[in-house]
Amino acid sequence: MRLCIISDVHANLPALEAVLDECPRGRIIHAGDVVGYNPHPGEVIELMREKRIASVMGNHDYAVLTGDTSAFNPVAARAIEWTRGVLQEEHLAYLRSLSLELRVEGICCVHGSPAEPLWEYVYPGEGLEEHLQRAGARMLVLGHTHVPFHLRLPQGEVLNPGSVGQPRDGSPLASFAVVEDGEVEVRRVEYEVGRVARDILRAGLPGVLAQRLYSGW
């Protein structure tokens, strides 16, 4: 079995392209937040579809569909509103088609946590046993925090592949994971941050969204 696991692409096309170039052949799973923050939501949705990447829904995907930004900070909310203004009906239909949970090859994949798939942040060491138990799977795959980790417990393993489009662990490199024959490897890849930063400014999105990509926060 060989799987490429990605998360939180967040409308960053150059980062997604760079990751897909490094992904070995096989199935690709995405742990949610296809859109939000960055300036290429339509292009990213089209590439996700073309590559048949299976995805769950993230809180930013949900907010773009509902227009409810009450849980977001002003910068994130502004990006949600901008995204709603540029996406076409076919893109919205794609977001609407995403489910909250995906089960494939003994893996349970959600964006936040099995109990709160859209909103709960799970960091290493925080009740992972309970999350695994609730998932009822050998491996639980999460996104949402944008911080990569992989832990093996007696009950199973928990993997967050980090974020493709907005890493937050102090490295600007796009993050993803490869699962092959029971081995898990988190990998990082360089992409053209300058290209995304330029498009963020051209789109009129807040400049801080460009700045943070250079240092990974």
Can residue 8 be called a binding residue for Zn ion (CB under 5 A)?
yes
Q: Is 33 in the site for Zn ion (CB under 5 A)?
A: yes
Q: In this complex, which beta carbon is closest to Zn ion, that of residue 131 or of residue 166?
A: 166
Whose Cβ is closer to Zn ion: residue 33's or residue 199's? 33
CB of 112 to Zn ion, least distance (A): 10
Evaluated on CA atoms 22, 151, 180, 138, the torsion sign reads negative
Nearest distance in Å: CB 154, Zn ion? 30
Nearer Cβ to Zn ion, position 63 or 156?
63
Q: How far is the CB of 8 from Zn ion (least distance, A)?
A: 4
User: Interface with Zn ion by CB under 5 A: which range of 3-11, 22-30, 168-176, 200-208?
Assistant: 3-11
Cα 80 to Cα 192: distance, rounded to the nearest angstrom: 23
Contacts by residues 207-215 (CB-CB < 8 Å, ≥ 24 positions apart): 208/75, 209/37, 209/38, 209/75, 209/79, 212/166, 213/12, 213/166, 213/172, 214/172, 215/170, 215/172
Q: What is the distance between the alpha carbons of residues 26 and 94, in angstroms, rounded to a whole number?
A: 22
List of residues contacting Zn ion (CB under 5 A): 8, 33
